Amino acid sequence: MKALSQHRRHPLMGLALLLLGLLVTGGLYSVASTVNQAQAADKVTTAASSDEIAEGEKLFNANCASCHGMGADGGPSGPSLIGVGAASVDFQVGTGRMPMQMNGPQARQKEPQFNEEQTAQLAAYVASLGAGPAVPEEEHLDTNHEDVNVARGGDLFRINCAMCHNAAAAGGALTRGKFAPTLQGVDEKHIYEAMQTGPQNMPVFGDGNLKPEDKRDIIAYLKTIENNGSPGGLSLGSLGPVSEGLFIWTAGLAIIIGFMVWLTSRSS
The one-letter amino acid code at 190 reads H
10 carries a ligand binding annotation: no
140 carries a ligand binding annotation: no
Question: Please, what's the largest Cα pairwise distance for the chain?
Answer: 119
Q: Give which of 114, 42, 40 is closest to 83, Cα–Cα.
A: 40
Tell me whether residue 242 is exposed, middle or buried, using C-beta atoms within 10 angstroms of its C-beta: 0 to 12, 13 to 18, 19 or more.
exposed
Cis peptide preceding 203, ω within 30 of 0: no
145 carries a ligand binding annotation: no
Q: Give which of 74, 245, 217, 232 is closest to 140, Cα–Cα.
A: 217
The one-letter amino acid code at 80 reads S
First to last CA, the chain: 119
> Rounded CA gap, 87 and 197, in Å?
7
Q: Give which of 219, 174, 167 is closest to 194, Cα–Cα.
A: 219
Q: Give which of 46, 237, 224 is closest to 151, Cα–Cα.
A: 224
7 carries a ligand binding annotation: no
> What are the counts of helices (DSSP H) followed by strands (DSSP E) for the chain?
11, 2
164 carries a ligand binding annotation: yes
161 carries a ligand binding annotation: yes
Going by the annotation, the residues of the binding site for heme c are: 64, 67-68, 161, 164-165
Going by the annotation, the residues of the binding site are: 64, 67-68, 161, 164-165
